[in-house]
């Protein structure tokens, strides 16, 4: 039985939650390995919509153990609010596990997010303001707070006091906010200790033993390839490694254990926040995609920037992640188009580029080279096999497969758990 990584193959919001949820009905563990509550996964089960932020999508599968790995940064307020909401709707969250090495988002880092954006001025990143970046920065600066620190008040107090010596000056000067009191932060964090203790889990040891027993583990990535801190459109990226390699560092499961890497991509493409977006549509077509696709952030409510499918991005995602499979979502959104453009290359100052440019300046100046594919008008929401799709929809998927350099194993034709065409089983 395999270890499967599920990652976003674009700029996020591709429908990874739905893909992971579907696998989660057949697997033993679903592990969130990066990011925090700066991203949301929408999953529809039995007509009910669940918006998950910190909780792994596996939380909705009764037979699955959901795990928050060491690569995640955890806002405890958000985590327990999300747990309470799920339980109020009849979801059993008692199996949730969390790594003692995961970092905690302290309240002062939400203020630091605002400080950093103000310092950048016109060069702002467009973060969600939830303290994700400052917490990852603390991790790298070795002043971060980990889950295990909740159980040693002395160490917790030292860490919080040390961090605030540097941060309070900026919080006061740039935001006009009163100084954050270390005792108040420590007291707030300690209130969670008894609630977190039963969730502690030796992620590295237990997941490797599970794989030894032949059990199936799915690693669920937050954000996406083009937002990866190393491989994305830097600096307009998130603060973690959200490509497939991040699953190993964010969980403690080595790369030789991985059997399959699944990239999730929309049948078009979207982006939230600042940064380059070669196929972005700033016209009626962009608004059409936004309204048809319900392209508003699950976490922030912000309208997403919309564009046509970018095969340059898809090929890059295939390479960076060693994708074995692609899941295409929201194919139904394109129904009704007479013609559907697909970006097959970039034009950068008169030079055709079929690979992702290394220079971010080139990405900023890239203009899409489009190929136009015939559309379809038939309702595809009830299609359950590839042959059920209209001929032009089949041709669209086949061409995306050729351009992306990876087989398309599943196709989403609606938001429901059951509205998926499986061409090649992932398990």
CB 185 within 8 A of CB 111: no
4 sits in the region (left: phi over 0; alpha: psi -120 to 50; else beta) called: beta
User: Is 13 among the residues known to form the active site?
Assistant: yes
Please report the pLDDT score of residue 166 as a whole number.
Answer: 86
Residue 194 is among the residues annotated as catalytic for this protein = no
Q: What's the rounded Cα separation, in Å, for the pair 363 and 310?
A: 13
Please state, in angstroms and as integers, the Cα–Cα distance from residue 307 to each residue in 10, 198, 343, following that order.
Answer: 11, 45, 10
Q: Can you give the pTM of this predicted structure?
A: 0.92
Question: Is 69 strand, coil or helix?
Answer: coil
Active-site annotation holder among 13, 75, 113, 138: 13
Q: What share of the chain is helix, strand, coil (3-state, %, to 5)?
A: 40, 20, 40
Of 200, 80, 107, 113, the closest CA to residue 150 belongs to: 200
What is d(CA 284, CA 402) in angstroms, rounded to the nearest whole number? 29
**pLDDT at residue 18, rounded to an integer:** 77
Q: Report the alpha-carbon distance of residue 110 to residue 130 in Å, rounded.
A: 5
Whether 343 contacts 308, CB under 8 Å: yes
Q: Which residues of 290-321 are buried (b: 16+ CB within 10 A; e: fewer)?
A: bebbebebbbbeeebbbbbbbbbbbbbbbebb
Query: Are 343 and 370 a contacting pair, CB within 8 Å?
Result: yes
| pLDDT tens series, the chain, 427 aa | 589 999 999 999 898 877 877 776 789 999 999 999 876 667 777 778 887 889 998 888 888 999 999 999 999 999 999 999 999 999 999 999 999 999 999 999 998 887 776 666 666 555 667 899 999 999 999 999 999 999 999 999 999 999 999 899 888 887 778 888 999 999 999 999 999 999 999 999 999 999 999 999 999 998 999 999 999 999 999 999 999 999 999 999 999 999 999 999 999 999 988 899 999 999 999 999 999 999 987 666 789 999 999 999 999 999 999 999 999 999 999 999 999 999 999 999 999 999 999 999 999 999 999 999 999 999 999 999 999 999 999 999 999 999 999 999 999 999 887 899 999 988 8
Residue 264: which H helix or E strand, with range? strand 260-266
CA 119 – CA 375 distance, rounded (Å)? 46
- Render 308-375 in DSSP notation, one character per residue: --BHHHHHHHHHHHT-SEEEEE-GGGGTT-SEEEEEEEEEETTEEESSPPSSHHHHHH-EEEEEEEE-
Beta-carbon-side half-sphere exposure of residue 19 (alpha carbons within 13 Å): 36
Q: What CA–CA distance (Å, rounded) separates 22 from 26? A: 8
Rounded-to-integer distance, Cα 88 and Cα 80, Å: 12
How far is the C-alpha of 236 from the C-alpha of 133, rounded, in Å?
12
| Per annotation, catalytic residue among 21, 28, 41, 113 | 41
Helices 107-120 and 153-175 sit at what angle, rounded to 10 degrees?
30
């Amino acid at each position: 039985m395999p270890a499967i990584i599920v990652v976003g193959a674009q700029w996020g919001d591709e429908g990874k939650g739905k893909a992971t949820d579907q696998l989660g009905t057949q697997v033993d563990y679903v592990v969130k390995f990066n990011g925090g509550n700066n991203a949301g996964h929408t999953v529809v089960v039995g007509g009910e919509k669940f918006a998950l932020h910190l909780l792994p999508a596996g939380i909705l599968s009764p037979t699955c153990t959901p795990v928050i790995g060491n690569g995640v940064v955890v806002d405890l307020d958000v985590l327990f609010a999300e747990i309470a909401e799920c339980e109020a709707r009849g979801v059993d969250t008692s199996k949730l596990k969390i790594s003692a090495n995961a970092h905690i988002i302290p309240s002062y880092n939400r203020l630091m997010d605002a400080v950093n954006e103000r310092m950048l001025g016109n060069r702002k990143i467009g973060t969600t303001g939830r303290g994700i970046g400052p917490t990852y920065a603390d991790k790298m600066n070795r002043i971060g707070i980990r889950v295990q620190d909740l159980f040693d008040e002395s160490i917790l107090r030292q860490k919080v006091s040390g961090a605030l010596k540097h941060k309070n000056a900026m919080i006061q000067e740039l935001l006009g906010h009163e100084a954050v009191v270390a005792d108040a932060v420590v007291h707030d964090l300690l209130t969670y200790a008894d609630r977190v203790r039963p969730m502690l889990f030796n992620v590295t040891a237990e997941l490797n033993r599970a794989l030894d027993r032949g059990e199936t583990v799915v690693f669920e990535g937050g954000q996406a390839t083009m937002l990866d801190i190393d491989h994305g459109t830097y600096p307009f990226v998130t603060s973690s490694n959200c490509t497939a390699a991040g699953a190993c560092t964010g969980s403690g499961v080595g790369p030789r254990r991985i059997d399959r890497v699944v990239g999730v991509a929309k049948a078009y493409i979207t982006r939230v926040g600042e940064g380059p977006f070669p196929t972005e549509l700033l016209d009626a077509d962009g608004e059409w995609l936004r309204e048809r696709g319900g392209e508003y952030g699950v976490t922030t409510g912000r309208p997403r920037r919309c564009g046509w499918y970018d095969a340059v991005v898809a090929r890059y995602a295939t390479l960076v992640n060693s994708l074995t499979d692609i899941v295409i979502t929201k194919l139904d959104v394109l129904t009704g188009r007479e013609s559907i453009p697909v970006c097959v290359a970039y034009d950068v100052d008169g030079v055709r580029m079929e690979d992702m440019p290394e220079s971010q300046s080139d990405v900023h100046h890239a203009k899409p080279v489009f190929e136009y594919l015939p559309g379809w008008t038939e309702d595809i929401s009830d299609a359950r096999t590839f042959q059920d799709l209209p001929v032009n929809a089949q041709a669209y998927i086949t061409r995306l497969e050729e351009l992306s350099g990876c087989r398309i194993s599943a196709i989403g034709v609606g938001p429901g758990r059951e509205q998926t065409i499986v061409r090649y089983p992932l398990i």
